[in-house]
């Protein structure tokens, strides 16, 4: 985490040196208790007469802290955001988890139509038993150009380093740690209240190690694994005033990702669709609904890695999330959060074992803005 923090503070020095500016921010603290029907994230067999152990349920204490800070001075702007959380299980202690996401963005606004900046993302998850945790570091440079009043084009390039911690503990037969350059284009558009974006990203992944169980070869020449990940998609957001001053926000995103690799059995195509509805109800109640569907195809006709496990996606390939918030007093609110998770809706691997998990949480949240 220290490299990420150091870079963020270095970025802080640039706008501060430029003179006094304006500062704004917000923070959110949430704590609650959750019931998890599959605390160990065990895949369940659909075979008749199967006697394997059923997924154990458990109670979970959740603590979440979220905050952001924005600073602007003349032609300089800086944004920092932090999201951190802790999960403590009542019985399944191996699943105890701490997660952190830190994002820093600095931009030099040369004119009203052009800006240049740097952006860095740091993510880290640590479990008591290291079977899914990882560290992700992604520094990049970007340039934004306003092509029209309603259209902005962004070009970016950087490096992505992904350290999958179980690689050091020999839990998986395949190593997932990789690194490599990445870059892409993003086009942002706005028309009235509707905002949308289209993007394409290309990423190279160099994997240091080979298969260790001998089940598959990397290729005929025995070269180390090398992947090219193509990702593109579209996002749309439309706020609507539907009753008095209450708002309804509709959101949609569609992503397609292709993994091209020299490792036979690891070429894959993902389609991911996400729909979002957020609305204000009477008595200041807010309701959020988010659904995600994922479709997976194996382009070699064989799932060499079983299910092409994506560690930073966890099990959230298919999900339905419902969140209700009710204000109590001066930034304090009551939160009810429920979710249903399943693995990929479709894949080319007919032997894929189904996964299911449901959670429901009741808690308190406190919001403060300045």
Radius of gyration of the chain from Cα atoms?
22
Query: How many domains does the structure of the chain reveal?
Result: 1
Query: Distance between CA 7 and CA 122 in Å, rounded?
Result: 11
Residue 43 is assigned to a structural domain of this protein: no
Q: Are 358 and 341 a contacting pair, CB within 8 Å?
A: yes
DSSP-based three-state secondary structure for 185: strand
- Summarised one tens digit per residue, pLDDT across range 3-19 is 545 454 444 444 444 45
Q: Are 22 and 140 a contacting pair, CB within 8 Å?
A: no
Beta bridge partners, 358, equal 340
The reported pTM is 0.85
Q: Are 275 and 252 a contacting pair, CB within 8 Å?
A: yes
Q: What does the pLDDT average to over 250-260? A: 95
Quick check: 232 pLDDT over 80? yes
Sign (positive or negative) of CA dihedral 305, 310, 311, 315 = negative
Mean pLDDT of the chain: 85
Residue 212's pLDDT is what?
A: 45
Residue 272 is assigned to a structural domain of this protein: yes
Q: Which of 145, 181, 138 is nearest to 162 (CA)?
A: 138
Query: Distance between CA 23 and CA 367 in Å, rounded?
Result: 18
Residue 148 is assigned to a structural domain of this protein: yes
- Summarised one tens digit per residue, pLDDT across range 265-318 is 678 899 999 999 999 998 889 999 999 998 888 777 665 555 456 666 666 678
Q: Which of 90, 156, 122, 152 is nearest to 8 (CA)?
A: 122
Residue 310 is assigned to a structural domain of this protein: yes
Here the CATH number for the domain that contains residue 338 is 2.40.160
Query: Distance between CA 258 and CA 360 in Å, rounded?
Result: 34
Query: Distance between CA 1 and CA 100 in Å, rounded?
Result: 9
Q: Are 176 and 163 a contacting pair, CB within 8 Å?
A: no
Residue 45 is assigned to a structural domain of this protein: no
- Is 48 exposed, middle or buried (CB count within 10 Å of its CB: 0-12, 13-18, 19+)? exposed
Residue 50 is assigned to a structural domain of this protein: no
Rounded to 10 degrees, the C-alpha dihedral 356/258/172/212 comes to 150
Beta bridge partners, 252, equal 236, 275
Residue 52 is assigned to a structural domain of this protein: no
- Is 294 exposed, middle or buried (CB count within 10 Å of its CB: 0-12, 13-18, 19+)? buried
Domain housing 187: 2-16+26-38+57-365
Beta bridge partners, 247, equal 241
Residue 370 is assigned to a structural domain of this protein: no
Q: How far is C-alpha 255 from the geometric centre of its chain's CA atoms?
A: 13
Q: Are 341 and 321 a contacting pair, CB within 8 Å?
A: no
Q: What percent of the chain lies above the pLDDT cut of 70?
A: 80
Question: Which DSSP category does 348 fall into?
Answer: S
Residue 48's pLDDT is what?
A: 46
**Structure tokens, 41:** 């994230």
Element (H, E) at 14: helix 2-17
């Amino acid at each position: 985490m220290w490299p990420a923090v150091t870079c963020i503070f270095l970025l802080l020095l640039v706008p501060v040196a430029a003179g006094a500016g304006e500062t704004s921010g917000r923070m959110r603290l949430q704590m609650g208790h959750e019931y998890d029907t599959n605390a160990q994230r065990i895949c369940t067999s659909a075979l008749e007469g199967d006697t394997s152990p059923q997924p154990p349920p458990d109670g979970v204490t959740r603590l979440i802290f979220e905050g952001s800070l924005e600073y602007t001075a003349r032609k300089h702007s800086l944004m920092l955001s932090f999201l951190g959380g802790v999960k403590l299980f009542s019985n399944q202690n191996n699943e105890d988890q701490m997660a952190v996401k830190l994002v820093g963005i600095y931009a030099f606004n040369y004119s009203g139509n052009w800006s240049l900046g740097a952006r860095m993302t740091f993510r880290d998850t640590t479990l008591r038993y290291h079977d899914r945790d990882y560290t992700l570091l992604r520094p990049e440079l970007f340039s934004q150009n306003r092509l029209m009043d309603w259209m902005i084009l962004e070009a970016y390039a950087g490096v992505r380093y992904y350290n999958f911690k179980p690689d050091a503990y020999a839990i998986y037969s395949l190593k997932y740690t990789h690194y490599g350059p990445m870059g892409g284009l993003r086009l942002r558009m706005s028309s009235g209240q509707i905002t949308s974006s289209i993007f394409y990203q290309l990423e190279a992944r160099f994997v240091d190690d080979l298969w260790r169980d001998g089940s598959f070869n990397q290729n005929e020449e025995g070269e180390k694994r090398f992947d090219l990940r193509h990702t593109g998609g579209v996002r749309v957001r439309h706020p609507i005033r539907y009753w008095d001053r209450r708002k309804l926000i509709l959101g949609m995103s569609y992503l397609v990702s292709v993994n091209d690799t020299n490792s036979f059995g690891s070429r894959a195509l993902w389609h991911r669709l996400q729909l979002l509805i957020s609305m204000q109800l009477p008595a200041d109640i807010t309701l959020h609904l988010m659904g995600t569907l994922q479709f997976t195809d194996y382009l070699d006709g064989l799932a060499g890695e079983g299910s092409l496990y994506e560690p930073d996606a966890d099990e959230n390939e298919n999900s339905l999330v419902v969140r209700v918030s009710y204000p109590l007093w001066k930034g304090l609110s009551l939160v009810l959060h429920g979710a249903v998770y399943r693995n990929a809706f479709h894949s080319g691997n007919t032997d894929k074992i189904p996964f299911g998990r449901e959670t429901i949480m009741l808690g308190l949240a406190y919001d403060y803005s300045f």
